[in-house]
Structure 1
Amino acid sequence: MTAEAGQAAEEKPRNRLAAVRLDEASISRGNPDQEHERAIAIYDILEENCFTIPDRDDGPYALVLGLVENKLSFAISTESGEPVMTHLLSLTPFRRVIRDYEMICESYYSAIRTASPTQIEAIDMGRRGLHNEASELLRQRLEGKVDLDHNTARRLFTLVFALHWKG
């Protein structure tokens, strides 16, 4: 590692995610678009995120997202693998927004192939609005356990949604 690379690594904040993965038992293989979305969301999270656990300063953290008995599981450990906590969230508050988001995503992917740019833009605006709504809900549901910035919450919601894709 060069001195510059070492300095860049040191400049990253401790309150962040250094690793993110989806629990293999919780997901099925998606279509190429879905797999691409998952990969981009993980890449974007790792590039820049804010992930703080109140009253702790042992980050950066590793996160495994999964489904456990119809609950969303956030298994958090230190970067070195020491367990920090597992937080389970009820999916009930997310059901409507996940269902609506799935429908609008299907419309969006269908529109990309046949619709006019204006129609695609209108559908995409609706998709982004639902994504923001779901991200804010995620932030609220994690309040007091994990603090996230807006962009991290958006990318994590992409992965939460990915857990519901059918292969």
Structure 2
Amino acid sequence: MKLIILDRDGVINIDSAQFIKSPDEWRPIPGSLEAIARLNEAGYRVVVASNQSGVGRGLFDMDTLNAIHEKMTKLLAQAGGRIDAIFFCPHPADSTCDCRKPRAGMLREISARFNVDLKGVPTVGDSLRDLLAGEEVGCELFLVLTGKGERTVNDPKVPAGTRVFADLAAVTDALIA
């Protein structure tokens, strides 16, 4: 099985320092939905792994998060693509949970659910915490310069071997070339 793990905010949709708190605030990065559709066409199962601490902070509730994801999946379907699963951590940043990236609990849950070793599985993020979580389980690391990526690329803690691309469409081009 070909699997790819994507962060949501800053990779699929435009990020916001104030959090994406409603379906109206969720806007795809140009080309991202088409990139996911191309990944699907190339045989990839696409999984989202996203920290959503706005839930734990009380900025929005689970119904709102579900509505945001519903908008994402509907727009993606219109572009000819699909997401096979969405995993998220609802806990605030000060949580000691294992699921909040940079810890790898969410990725381990993906591994268990899909019964796949994540060694070499592409994971795409825009922040250091996305990369560190992927590194912990042996993923192939991709940093996009969208979202927080422009700041992250210069962080000395970016794991060695991380591949850097302009956006998800460019990552997709590299993977299916």
Q: TM-score, normalised by structure 2?
A: 0.26
Larger CA Rg, structure 1 vs 2: 1
Q: TM-score, normalised by structure 1?
A: 0.27
- Give the structure, 1 or 2, with the largest relative contact order (CA under 8 Å, sep 6 or more): 1
Could you say which structure has the higher helix fraction?
1
